[in-house]
Amino acid sequence: MRCWCILFVVLNFYKGQTARLFQPLSTTDNEGTKNTDILRQLLNQETLIRLSLSRDVQFLLKQQRTEKKTDQAVKKTLVDLQASVQRLTNVTDDLNLRNENLTNEVTSLILKNKQELEVNDRSQDKKLGVLERYLEELSNQTTQQLMFIEDVNSNIKNMSTQIAGNKNALLNCKRNNFRF
């Protein structure tokens, strides 16, 4: 739009100058009127230029105000974002610390559980060893008792055989004694 205004001013000025060149020279009255017309045209052109300049200045001021508002909004947004970043950094640091503490606790619990399992394993191994020794002793006692029982059975058989032999001898003696 600014270009059109400037073009319009230049064309009006050019039109005024060419009209003056092609008009016949006349009296001083005509020259005064012509000079007045030229002066009016120049004043009109100056007014148009001033109006155009004032519009441009107003446009620039308005644009500057808009840019200031935009800059303030951007700065506020930047400050808000920096605060958010700081807050998130703090939260992240806190979460990392919690994570490290929980990892340490888990590691501690795993070690404690491992130690308890080792103690339980040793205790169970001891109990198992005691039970194995007890079982071995029972097995030995059972073996000894079985050998004793076999000895007793064998003695009983021997005694039974001796008793049977004695019985037969007694019976033979009785028979022999009664025959005489």
Q: State residue 172's pLDDT score.
A: 76
- CA 153 – CA 160 distance, rounded (Å): 10
- CA dihedral (43, 45, 46, 49) in degrees, to 10, reads 160
The per-residue pLDDT string of the chain (180 residues; one tens digit each, 9 = 90 and over) reads 555 556 566 666 666 555 454 455 455 567 778 888 888 888 888 888 888 888 988 998 999 889 888 888 888 998 999 999 999 999 999 999 999 999 999 999 999 999 988 888 888 888 888 888 888 888 888 888 888 888 888 888 888 888 878 777 777 777 776 554
Please work out, in degrees rounded to the nearest 5, the angle formed at the alpha carbon of residue 108 by the alpha carbons of 102 and 114.
135
- CA 142 – CA 83 distance, rounded (Å): 85
pTM beyond 0.85, yes or no:
no
Q: Of the candidates 100, 11, 4, 93, which has an alpha carbon nearest to the alpha carbon of residue 52?
A: 4
* Structure tokens belonging to residue 166: 């004695």
